[in-house]
Chains A and B, each alone.
Chain A
Amino acid sequence: MRRGFAQFGLVLPALLLAGLALTLTGCGKVEPPAPHLVLEARGDQCVEPTDVIRRDHMKILMHERDEAKIYGRRNPNHSFVGCVDCHVSPTASRDDPSTHFCMACHQFNAVRMDCFQCHTDRPSDAAPPKRSADLEVSIERHLALQADGIETVQEISTP
Chain B
Amino acid sequence: MSTENSANVSRRQFITGAATAVAGLTVAPGVFLLKTAGAANGADPAKRWGLLIDTSKCADGCTACVRACHEENGVRSLGRPKTDAQWIRKVHLTERETGHQHSLPVMCQHCEKPPCVDVCPTKASFIRPDGIVLVNKHTCIGCRYCMMACPYKARSFIHEPLTDQKPHSPRGKGTVESCTLCVHKVDRGEGTTACVEACNKDGHRAMVFGDLNDPSSEIAQRLKREGSTAVRADLRLNPAVRYQGI
Contacts and interface: CB of A to CB of B under 8 A. Distances in A.
A154 B153 contact: yes
A69 B12 CA distance: 25
Given A72-B43, A73-B41, A86-B11, A142 B77 contact: yes
B142 to A, nearest CB: 12
A63 B34 contact: yes
Residue among A36, A120, A128, A129 having the largest count of chain B Cβ atoms under 10 Å? A120
Contacts of B77: 138-139, 141-142
Given A125-B8, A153-B89, A139 B71 contact: yes
Interface in B8-34: 8-12, 14-15, 17-19, 21-22, 24, 26, 29-30, 32, 34
A158 B246 contact: yes
Interface stretch (B161-169, B201-209, B214-222): B161-169
B134 interface: yes
Contacts, number: 186
Interface band, chain A: 35 or more
Residue among A45, A81, A125, A139 having the largest count of chain B Cβ atoms under 10 Å? A139
Interface residues of B, number: 77
A135 B15 contact: no
A159 interface: yes
Contact of A158 (B4, B9, B183, B231): B231
A73 B76 contact: no
Nearest to A79: B18
Contacts of B34: 63-64, 67, 75
Interface stretch (A2-10, A13-21, A105-113, A144-152): A144-152
Interface of B: 1-2, 4-12, 14-15, 17-19, 21-22, 24, 26, 29-30, 32, 34, 36, 41-43, 63, 66-67, 70-71, 76-77, 79, 81-82, 84, 86, 89-93, 106, 126, 128-130, 134, 136-138, 152-153, 161-162, 164-168, 170-173, 175, 183, 186-187, 229, 231-234, 246
